[in-house]
Chains A and B, each alone.
Chain A
Amino acid sequence: MIGDPHETAKRLIAQDRVEGVSAQEREWLDRHLSECKDCERLAAGTDRAIALLRTVSISVPADLAERARLRVDLRTQEVDERRRWWWLPWTACTVSWAIGIVSAPYVWRAFSWLGHEAGVPTLVWKAGFALWWAAPALFAAGALLWERWDLPWYRTR
Chain B
Amino acid sequence: MAGASLFFAALLPASPKTLARGLRRRDPQLLDGLIEQYQYRLYRYLFSLTGNREMAEDLFQETWIRVLDRGHQYDGRSKFEAWLFSIARHLVIDVSRKRAFESIDSLTVEPAAAEPSSWERVNSREVQAAIEESLGRLPAVYREVLVLRFQEDLALHEIAAIVDAPLATVKSRLYRGLETLRGLLGGME
Chain A interfacial positions (CB closer than 8 Å to B): 14-15, 17-19, 42, 45-46, 48-50, 52-62, 64-65, 67-69, 71-73, 75-76, 79, 151, 153, 156-157
Contacts and interface: CB of A to CB of B under 8 A. Distances in A.
A58 B39 contact: no
B65 A59 contact: no
B183 to A, nearest CB: 9
Interface residues of B, number: 47
Contacts of A76: 26, 28, 68
A48 B131 CA distance: 11
B122 A59 contact: yes
Contacts of B64: 68, 71-72
Given A46-B182, A53-B131, A56-B151, 17 more contacts: A15-B175, A18-B156, A18-B178, A45-B186, A52-B127, A56-B131, A59-B123, A60-B39, A65-B36, A65-B39, A68-B39, A69-B32, A72-B28, A72-B32, A72-B64, A75-B69, A76-B68
A57 B178 contact: no
Given A58-B123, A61-B57, A156-B94, A46 B26 contact: no
Interface stretch (B11-19, B40-48, B100-108, B109-117): B40-48
A19 B171 contact: yes
A19 B35 contact: no
- Please classify the interface of chain A as helix (H, G, I), strand (E, B), loop, or mixed, using the class held by over half of its residues: helix
A67 B66 contact: no
B185 A52 contact: yes
Nearest to B5: A65
A68 B61 contact: yes
Nearest to B1: A62
B182 A68 contact: no
Given A60-B39, A157-B90, A14 B57 contact: no
